[in-house]
Structure 1
Amino acid sequence: MLYTRKNPICAQAINTTVFGNLNVTKKTTFIIHGFRPTGSPPVWMGDLVEGLLFVEDMNVVVVDWNRGATTVIYTHASSKTRNVAKVLKEFIDQMLVEGGSLDDIYMIGVSLGAHISGFVGEMFNGKLGRITGLDPAGPLFNGRPPQDRLDPSDAQFVDVIHSDTDALGYKEPLGNIDFYPNGGLDQPGCPKTIFGGMQYFKCDHQRSVYLYLSSLRENCTIITYPCDSYQDYRNGKCVSCGTPQKRPCPLVGYYADNWRHYSRDKDPPTTKAFFDTAEEKPYCIYHYFVDIITWNKNARRGSITIKLRDKAGHTTESKIDHQPATFQKYHQVSLLARFNQDLDKVAAISLVFSTGTTVGPKYKLRILRMKLRSLVHPERPQLCRYDLVLMENVETVFQPILCPKLQM
């Protein structure tokens, strides 16, 4: 089913003998859906077609293999994937005869569709321009050798979003760069129990598609951080990309292939990148570092909640409580804070210190200096405050001042 800027709403049915409006000299993006137990078209398909045509004048080809994918028996659908790949191979061969180039072929495969893309790429010896795998299917593919699944050699550049690694998705890296939103497990905003109905089963799996969509139309760029593990990312150990001395941070979605200019011959064949998201569209999270130097005589362990407010009264909050921080005398602790909103000019900051205990004595945290710095906008002035005493579980509000220029 072909969509172009000439026919963006109503698709043309095309095949190896009828190309319709397909212009082989332009980029051609194939969208390949996955398992369809009910046979209904994917709810996100229209938005994906529209978004791709919005960002670039290209051919968008929706591969409708619904007759193979629609069955309640997953193994039946899975067994059809190589047949779909063969049909696509014949179609692309004909495009090449008409003057097309493999460099201009881009495949976006969702779930089973990701592995179909890999099979097509393998048939062309990895010469396709790019493959994006959106939560590639895990069941029946986990642990399989590279020729039986998507792998980094299937295209010139392979990027993958893993959003449901503990259920329907594939856990291990499959691309040149593999993105793990929220660690690749439970996605915020998705039902936590079976009482959520069908959404409980498919929400995490589908989130990969919606994160990709947000890169096309939403005015937020989802920045990610190359890292060995989600825990290291959460602890702020992997956020040096994007600084003047380092190369840019990889982006999720349509513009992920900017990373290919930095990845070849410089890194291992695969890069893992981690990031957190908000519960709702457009899912963007804005990262800040909160640097705290304390002067308590004894070490204190606990978590910090930080809230920002601008002059218009907009507020945003971050709880840094995934693991307790240890505050020691004259030692700087750098905490990675994540906010749903990006406030341009912060007028007030509040801090709450907690040890997590509700009984027993209340502790104080004596702060020599607190500094707030934006990771997304490192050019913004850094904000400081000196000589604060936080009573446990009591919100302390203050106006920040600009940090001295000499401070690092």
Structure 2
Amino acid sequence: MKIFAVFVLFVFGAVGENLVENYDRELSTIKLLFYPNINSIDNPIEISPLYNTGWKLVDFLANETKLMIHGWNAFSNHISVNPVLHAYLKANNSRVLAVDWRDASQLSYVVARRIITSIAGRICGQLRYFVKETQIDIANLHVIGHSLGCHIATHIGRCFDGEIGRLTALDAAGPFFTKFSTDAYSRNDFLFVDSIHTSAGLAGEFEVRGHAAFFPNGGVAPQPGCEASDLISFTACSHYRVSNYFAESILLPTTFLAHQCELSLIQLPTAHRNCHNGSNVVLMGEHIDHNTRGVFYLQTFSTFPFGKDEL
């Protein structure tokens, strides 16, 4: 992790940057976007009292509301989140929202990481407006964050006093976060928190901060099928692969079966033998039982469908 942190500092010019600079311009462009259907993927509706274009959110009935938050150096329909957006819209049983904080995400990583509470504050105001307009039960709100978006999400959870139903952390960002980081995502800020790790120790982290944590293929890079790409993209393939896993779980509910296992065993090269003897087998992904607790291991294929759907 230390090597990755130094790499980020060097390549993205964070060394010597003025961290007390005012980033109001970047923060002012943060948008909350609503996707009524699959055809709106490239033309979503901005949720804001300043840009009310006549839509009636109450007309879009659904039991759950999904909110996607992208990570650093990305945007609302970036490759790291687009599979999940498409899957939810194809399933067509939830209201689908996404945050676009692209301008702030283009700042150096160390700055973006430092201002996550300010980013979340902007999102919180817009989300409160959405909740008021739709009268949704926030216990049925499911936030899905990728990378730095996971840590941003927890401050939205705090904004709603921990009453939001669920956070799914997709390969939460690791650089400049430690076990003791009080601004990292936390099980205390949502009713249920599950996490999936695919590049732990590099772009992602090993820390278990939620109620249920999943480590496909040990949770590290390279994930199967990313061996060559990770050499070129510095683990980006594995970091983004988590979104493909989660998207697949939306449409294929039983495709990822995971075995409960000790984290110390998951990190061993023989994890596939160490962890497959456990009797506690659970679903990873969208359809997880919210009573699930613990750390889990599973293996995947290198191409779609990734889930092995096996006991």
TM-score range, shorter chain: 0.7 to 0.9
State how 1:2-401 maps to structure 2 within 5 Å.
2-5=34-37, 8-9=40-41, 10-18=43-51, 20-23=55-58, 26=62, 27-36=64-73, 42-71=78-107, 73-98=108-133, 99-145=135-181, 147-186=182-221, 187-191=223-227, 196-198=231-233, 200-218=234-252, 221-228=255-262, 229-230=265-266, 231=268, 234-235=272-273, 238-241=276-279, 249-256=281-288, 258=289, 260=290, 262-263=291-292, 270-285=293-308, 287=310, 375=311
- Provide the rounded CA distance (Å) in 2 between the counterparts of 1:130 and 1:236: 30
What is the TM-score when the length of structure 2 is the normalising length?
Answer: 0.77
- Provide the rounded CA distance (Å) in 1 between the counterparts of 2:80 and 2:198: 16
Contact residue 38 and residue 89 of structure 2 kept, 8 A: no
Q: Secondary structure at the match of 1:109?
A: strand
Distance 1:169 1:237, change over 3 A: closer
Letter in 1 for 2:73: R
Distance 1:16 1:88, change over 3 A: farther
Greater Cα shift, 182-191 or 12-21: 12-21
Q: Deviations over 1:64-120 (max 9, x none)?
A: 00000013x211221232122112221232234332221121111000000011111
- Provide the rounded CA distance (Å) in 1 between the counterparts of 2:48 and 2:155: 19
Distance 1:17 1:226, change over 3 A: farther
Greater Cα shift, 209-218 or 184-193: 184-193
- Provide the rounded CA distance (Å) in 2 between the counterparts of 1:6 and 1:193: 29
Greater Cα shift, 111-120 or 97-106: 97-106
Distance 1:169 1:282, change over 3 A: same
Q: What is the aligned-residue RMSD (CA, Å)?
A: 2.6
Letter in 1 for 2:138: L
- Provide the rounded CA distance (Å) in 1 between the counterparts of 2:206 and 2:301: 22
Q: Deviations over 1:149-188 (max 9, x none)?
A: 1011111111100111120101110211000011111211
What is the TM-score when the length of structure 1 is the normalising length?
Answer: 0.60
Letter in 2 for 1:285: K
Larger Cα Rg: Structure 1 or Structure 2? Answer: 1
Aligned-residue offset at 1:237: 5.2
Q: Deviations over 1:244-276 (max 9, x none)?
A: xxxxx32122112x2x1x34xxxxxx5101111
Distance 1:136 1:46, change over 3 A: closer
Distance 1:219 1:143, change over 3 A: closer
Letter in 1 for 2:155: F
Contact residue 113 and residue 136 of structure 1 kept, 8 A: yes
Distance 1:34 1:106, change over 3 A: same
Letter in 2 for 1:103: A
Distance 1:241 1:16, change over 3 A: farther
**Structure with the higher helix share, 1 or 2:** 2
- Provide the rounded CA distance (Å) in 1 between the counterparts of 2:218 and 2:278: 19
Q: Per chain length, whose mean CA-contact separation is higher, i.e. which structure has more relative contact order (CA < 8 Å, sep 6+)?
A: 2
Contact residue 275 and residue 297 of structure 2 kept, 8 A: no
Letter in 1 for 2:214: F
Letter in 2 for 1:12: I
Q: Which runs of 5+ in 1 are unaligned?
A: 243-248, 264-269, 288-374, 376-408
Letter in 2 for 1:138: G
Q: Percent of pairs identical after alignment?
A: 25
Count residues with an aligned counterpart.
268
- Provide the rounded CA distance (Å) in 1 between the counterparts of 2:77 and 2:147: 14
- Provide the rounded CA distance (Å) in 2 between the counterparts of 1:36 and 1:183: 26
Q: Which runs of 5+ in 2 are unaligned?
A: 1-32
